[in-house]
Amino acid sequence: MKPILLKMTAFGPYLEETIDFKEIENKGIFLITGDTGSGKTTIFDAICVALFGESNGAERTAESFKSDFDGNNEIMSVEFSFELKGRFFRVARTPRQRRKKLRGEGFTDDLGDATLYETILGVEKPIEFFKGVNARIELILGLNARQFRQIVMIPQGQFRKLITEDSADREKILKSIFNVNKYEIFQNKISSFNKELENKLFERKNLLNVEVSHIKSPEGSNLEALIGAQQKNIRAIIDETEALINEDESRLQEILISIQSQKEHIQKLSVQIEQSKKNNALLDLFEEKQAEKIVLEHSKAHYLDLGQEVNMAERAFRIKPLEEFLQQQERAIKNQKAIILDKNQEVQRLEMSLEQSFMTHEQLKTPENLKGIETEKGKLLFFTSILSKVEGYENLKTDFEGIALQFIKEEDTIKSLRLALQEQQEALSKMTLQKEQLTGQLVDIEKTQAILVDLNGQLEVLNELENQCLDYIKILRQHDTSTKAFEQIKTEKEQHEILYEEQQIHWFEGQAGLLAQNLKEGDPCPVCGNTHTVKKAQLNEKMPTKEHLDMLKSKKIQLEQKFNICQMAVVSEEQNKTNKREQLIQLFKKVLEIFQVTLSFDREGILLFCKEQKTLLQTKATQTKHVFERLKEDNKRLNHLVADLEELSKSLKAISDRLGILQEEHHKTLEFKTTKESQLEVIEKDLPEALRKKKQLIEIMSSLENNIQKMERAIESSKENYEGILRTQTIAKTSLSEMQKVLLERESAYQTSEREFQQAL
């Protein structure tokens, strides 16, 4: 903002003062100097009052600057002209103040006034009035009063403190001047919010690590390696977990399908089993019937022989005990022989088993088998020694595969970022071109807005003139009506006063006639007391009654009151008419000055002029408003475009920064990948391909260990089997010898019993 002219009237120590800054237009920096109290600060206060209606400091109000040297005759006012971005403005402000009345004596409160002018195409025109001036000034300057004081002007007292105080106090003064408390509050809030976010992030990380540690993973899987890593790649863990879940779900579906198939097969088998049970039951029944048939056929011969047996039974009854004892001994001998035969066969089997067991044991203990066991043990020892190396190889390979996958992902991400960066750079170029095109229209929108404000101001003045003219016509008509009513009341009042005076005279004369009617010569007069009557009053026939006379008097009083009221109303309306005419004349002159036309002070002509000018102005205002709205839309588009440009610039910077970081990380990943690959090549030279997997190696070792244990257990088992068979054979031979002795004893006893039976027969 560049000051041009400052005019002060009855402001502070200045009764009438004009400061022309154009005289020092090309002087660069200039200094305002003077003695203490000479009014240096008042100049800056006047500028602030003109712009915002407030002083430069918070200690004084605008009303307090009214000069004490004018005797309250002059109206305090300030005019300030300035240039901003090639546009010229003038603001004229009359602050609220007490002043002398224009008529009569005493003081009145002037509410103040303000008008903002702009010079457009060499013509100065008002663009804002009274209450709208402050908002328009803020829009033009981009600052409100408080910001203007803090940024453009530093109050004198605070600047002196700023120079003389130490650094700590100077900091306080600067904070007071520039009101930085809100930034400290904002900084504290941001710090608190940042700390809160860090705590939440730490808690979330701990919770995430706990949750990750609970994930169960297959042994030797990529997921197990990711979970066991010191720096956990959560995204990779989630991907691996989802892959395992999908795999498990697929296996579950296969198992469910297999279970369903087995159920269907079981149901078919159950049906077949039930049918088989029914068939078996029928077969059992058939076999029972066949058995009953055979029994019945055999019974026929049995019953025929039964009679012979009865006869023989009677003969045998006598020798039956001997026969039974003989048969018992015979069975015992027979059983003993069978037992001896079985035991003898057992001994023979044991001899064969013993020979076979001995041969098996000898075969298992051959040098070839023993050497094979030692060879297997050597392999197992070798595989055990390289197990840790295979584990390290697998871990290294898993790390390498993870790094290789990360390397590919980083390459894809870098390609995507480069593509996005290129696309956004192209979009930025297009948006910058659009911004340059729309920025050229900002001057048009400000000019159009100024024209629209000017048109609206002219319309407001015309509306005010039209309304005041109509009000004045209405007042004239009301005044004519009131005047006619006043004249009518006045005539009625005068006529009634004449009537009342006549009736009052008649009443007095009638009263005198009544008193004189019975008065005799020599009697004292009831009125004057005279005994000699010169002329006796006569009875008046027109004498009104006392009630009629009182009624006339009451009406007379009412008419007088009505007359007074009408008279006051006429006087008041006359004064109102005069005031309204003066206001109308002043406004009429203002309109003539604004529109620069010549027009006689005629009510009908004024109304016609207002109507015609309003029609023209409304048409022009409508057209201008359409243009302004279109420009406003373009301005909105420009604002959105500026915001989008800012966001796009931030996005470009973020992408560029991220691309740089990713490229550095990608380079480190490449180095790490190359290192791991070299380590893998070194290990693969020492490890055959079949032994590079821990799971396969463990399976081979387990198979070797099982074979070794099986072979050793076979040798031990064959030895134990041989010894067991040998012990069993010895016991069996001893038992056979004892059984043969018992058989000889039973045969001897049988021969004795047989001789006794023969003798009994």
Find, among 126, 120, 146, 159, the residue nearest to 51 by Cα.
146
Taking the C-alpha atoms of residue 295 and residue 445, their distance in angstroms, rounded to an integer, is 130
pLDDT tens digit sequence for 379-398 = 777 777 777 777 777 787 88
* H/E run at residue 256: helix 234-316
Domain residue spans in the chain?
A: 2-142, 329-364+693-761, 442-601
Structure-token pair, residue 747: 């045969």
Average pLDDT on 727-738 reads 79
CB 130 within 8 A of CB 159: no
CA nearest 177: which of 134, 220, 146, 212?
Answer: 146
Q: What is the pLDDT of residue 578?
A: 86
For residue 281, pLDDT over 70 is answered with yes
Query: What does the pLDDT read at residue 321?
Result: 65
**What is the architecture, at CATH level 2, of domain 2-142?**
3-Layer(aba) Sandwich (3.40)
The amino acid occupying position 662 is L
- 687 backbone dihedrals φ, ψ, rounded to 5°: -110, 125
C-beta neighbour count of 474 within 10 angstroms: 11
More confident residue, 302 or 643: 643
pLDDT beyond 90 at 93: yes
- Write the pLDDT tens digit of every residue in 221-268: 787 787 777 777 888 888 888 888 888 888 888 888 888 888 788 888
Tokens (6 digits) for 220: 């030797």
Overall average pLDDT of the 710-734 stretch: 78
The Cα–Cα gap between 698 and 716 comes to 26
Cα 407 from Cα 672, distance rounded (Å):
10
Q: What is the pLDDT of residue 635?
A: 75
pLDDT value of residue 533? 59
Residue with tokens 């006569």: 538
Q: 399-420 burial, b if ≥16 CB within 10 A, otherwise e?
A: bbebbeebeeebeeebeebeee
In this model, does residue 32 exceed pLDDT 70? yes
- Quote the CA–CA distance of 119 and 87 in Å, as a whole number: 7
- Name the least confident of 180-194, 235-249, 275-289, 544-558: 275-289
d(CA 312, CA 664): 123
Task: Find all residues with CB under 8 Å of 181, minimum gap 6, and list them.
Answer: 175
- What's the mean pLDDT in 469-476? 85
Beta bridge partners of 19: 6
> Per-residue confidence at 288, pLDDT binned at 50, 70, 90?
confident
407 contact partners, CB below 8 Å, separation of at least 6:
666, 669, 670, 673
What integer is the mean pLDDT of 293-322?
60
Query: Does residue 7 surpass a pLDDT of 90?
Result: yes
Total number of residues shown for the chain: 761
Closest CA to 625 of 464, 456, 441, 439: 456
- What was the pLDDT predicted at 640? 77
Whether the Cβ atoms of residue 569 and residue 562 lie closer than 8 Å to each other: no
The C-alpha angle 40, 43, 45, rounded to 5 degrees, equals 110
Considering the chain, what percentage of its residues have pLDDT values greater than 70? Answer: 83
Helix spans in 102-233 (H): 132-141, 145-151, 156-164, 167-178, 181-213, 222-228
pLDDT of residue 519: 66
Which helix (H) or strand (E) segment is 219 a member of?
Answer: none
SS percent in the chain: helix, strand, coil, step 5: 75, 5, 15
C-beta contacts of 533-540 below 8 A and 24+ residues apart: 537/509, 537/512, 537/513, 538/513, 539/510, 539/513, 539/514, 540/506, 540/509, 540/510, 540/513
The mean pLDDT of 513-529, rounded to a whole number, is 67
| Other Cβ atoms closer than 10 A to 479 | 17
CB 431 within 8 A of CB 648: yes
pLDDT of 316 strictly over 70? no
pLDDT tens digits, residue range 585-599? 888 888 888 878 887
- Would you state the structure tokens that stand for residue 343, as one six-digit string? 């035991």
- 158-196 pLDDT, tens digit each: 555 555 556 676 676 566 656 677 777 888 889 889 988
- The answer to whether 725 and 351 are in contact (CB under 8 A) is no
Instruction: Name the DSSP class of 519.
Output: -
What's the rounded Cα separation, in Å, for the pair 747 and 754? 10
Are 355 and 718 in contact, with CB atoms under 8 Å apart? no
Half-sphere exposure for 3 (CA within 13 Å, toward CB): 22
**SS3 label, residue 115:** strand
Question: What's the pLDDT score for residue 521?
Answer: 67
Give the distance, in angstroms, between the CA of residue 9 and the centroid of all CA atoms in the same chain: 57
- CA dist 753 and 747 (Å) reads 10
CA atoms of 454 and 624, how far apart (whole Å): 11
Distance of alpha carbon 443 from alpha carbon 170, whole angstroms: 42
Tokens in use for 320? 């039956």
pLDDT of residue 184: 79
Contact call for residues 449 and 630 (beta carbons, < 8 A):
no
Q: Nearest-CA neighbor of 117 among 594, 613, 620?
A: 594
111-116: average pLDDT:
88
- pLDDT bucket at 6, cuts 50 / 70 / 90: very high
The closest of 410, 394, 400, 395 to 675, measured between CA atoms, is 400
- DSSP line for 6-40: EEEEEETTEEEEEEEGGGGTTS-S-----STTSSH
Quote the pLDDT of residue 129: 86
